[in-house]
Each structure stands twice: as C-alpha cells, then as structure tokens.
C-alpha cells in the first residue's frame, strides 16, 4: 500500500474507508504544532561590546506581551579579581532593590546580601585574557503592575584554576512594568562581552 516517498493517514470510521497521502510528516495535522509551543523564547535584542571598552550596557523600549524576560551573557573586564556587575530598571537608582547571593569557589562558600540597595547584583566578570564568565538572568512577571519584580541569576567565572559559581536572587520594589534595563560594570567590560535579551511567552 505504501510507497517509499509518501506518508499515509487512514480513517477508521466504519473501517479503513479513506486514505490521504502526504509528503510531510506534519501535513494535515491540525491539532499539534511543534513550532508554536507554550513557553517559547523570542530573541529581542543583543549587545556586543566592540573595540572600545564600556562601563554600561542598556536595553530600552522593552515590549510588553511576554510573561518573563531572560538575559544571557558572557563577559570579561579589564581588571583582576572578582568584579561584580549590577542591574537597575527604568533608570531607578534609588534604594529600591533587595538582593542576596551565595558564592562558592570549590573550597569555601560566602553568603552576602543587601536589604536596601541602589541596584541588584547579577554576576561576576572574568578578567583572564580570552576567558569569559557566563550567566543567565530571569526577570519574572516583568510587565505585571500588581507585584514587585523578582530577579534570579546563575553565573560563574573561571581564572584558569580558580573562580566562582554564584547564585543571586533579588527584587525591585516597584509595581511598574520593566521598560528598560541597565547593567553597570565595576570596571569596564571588554571586547566581545555580549548580552542577549529574550522574551518568554
């Protein structure tokens, strides 16, 4: 009945009375569309540092219509040591943020935080040449005007045998929808540092 080049769909209403022939496995499928899943990510914007070091990276005009936001980064700075990066929303640099974090370096752990801060910590930056730290930041319910905004971050950095794994969580004590995000570096971010913003449906 079948040939090598076709896919068949048979109806069992009263027996195999009809047969449809398709050239594609998904043709004629009206109940499942794998390309429109719930929870999909849409790429909204990407910033990559060029040949000139920068002290901030900004995302403005963030659209509504998504459930959450996610940022993914790799970054490097021009100085040594543990260099923290921070984030603010909508240009708000008042003490409207709270956060806490946990560092681990393989031999010891450190907990820290702030109940009232002018920003949220979002990661550490590598300072070893050609070695970049990485991180994922989730901003939950960013457009919901009935709650404060919650942030969580997983990140890590390696310095050729030493480094950190870090977890942060925090909030922005505002019910305003997030329309812009600014990242600040304790020291300048170097070439090829990249931040990518995604909307989560």
* Pairing relationship of beta strands 68-75 and 54-59 according to DSSP bridges: unpaired
* Contact partners, residue 145, CB within 8 Å, separation at least 6: 175, 176, 177
How much is the average pLDDT of 39-68? 92
Mean pLDDT of the chain: 83
Contact 200, 62 (CB under 8 A): no
DSSP code, position 12: -
Q: What is the DSSP string of 51-105?
A: SS-EEEEEE-S--S--SEEEEEEEEBBSS-S-EEEEEEETT--SS-EEEEEEEE-
pLDDT, mean of residues 151-166:
84
Name the band, by pLDDT with cuts 50, 70 and 90, for residue 2.
very low
Cβ-based neighbours of 81, under 8 Å, separated by 6 or more: 127
For residue 81, the model assigns a pLDDT of: 54
**80-137 tens-digit pLDDT:** 555 678 999 999 999 999 999 998 888 888 898 999 999 999 887 777 777 888 999 9
DSSP class of residue 177 equals P
Radius of gyration for the alpha carbons in the chain, expressed in angstroms and rounded: 23
Residue 103 near residue 110 (C-beta atoms within 8 A): yes
pLDDT at residue 119 in the model: 95
pLDDT confidence bin for 7, thresholds 50/70/90: very low
Quick one: which of 77, 133, 130, 72 has its CA closest to 103?
133
């Amino acid at each position: 009945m079948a040939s090598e080049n076709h896919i068949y769909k048979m109806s069992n209403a009263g027996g195999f009375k009809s047969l449809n022939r398709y050239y594609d496995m998904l043709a004629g499928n009206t109940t499942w569309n794998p390309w429109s899943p719930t929870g999909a990510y849409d790429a909204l914007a990407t910033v990559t540092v060029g040949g000139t070091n920068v002290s901030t990276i900004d995302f403005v005009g963030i659209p509504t219509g998504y459930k959450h936001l996610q940022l993914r980064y790799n970054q490097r700075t021009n100085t040594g040591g543990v260099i923290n990066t921070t984030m603010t929303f909508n240009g708000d640099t008042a003490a409207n943020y709270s956060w806490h974090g946990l560092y681990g370096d393989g031999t010891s752990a450190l907990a820290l935080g702030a109940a009232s801060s002018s920003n949220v910590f979002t990661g550490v930056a590598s300072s070893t040449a050609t070695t970049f730290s990485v991180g994922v930041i989730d901003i939950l319910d960013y457009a919901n005007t009935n709650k404060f905004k919650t942030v969580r971050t997983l990140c890590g950095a390696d310095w050729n045998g030493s480094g950190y794994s870090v977890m942060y969580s925090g909030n922005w004590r505002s019910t305003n929808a997030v329309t812009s995000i600014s990242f600040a570096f304790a020291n300048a971010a170097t070439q090829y540092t990249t931040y990518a913003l995604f909307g989560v449906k």
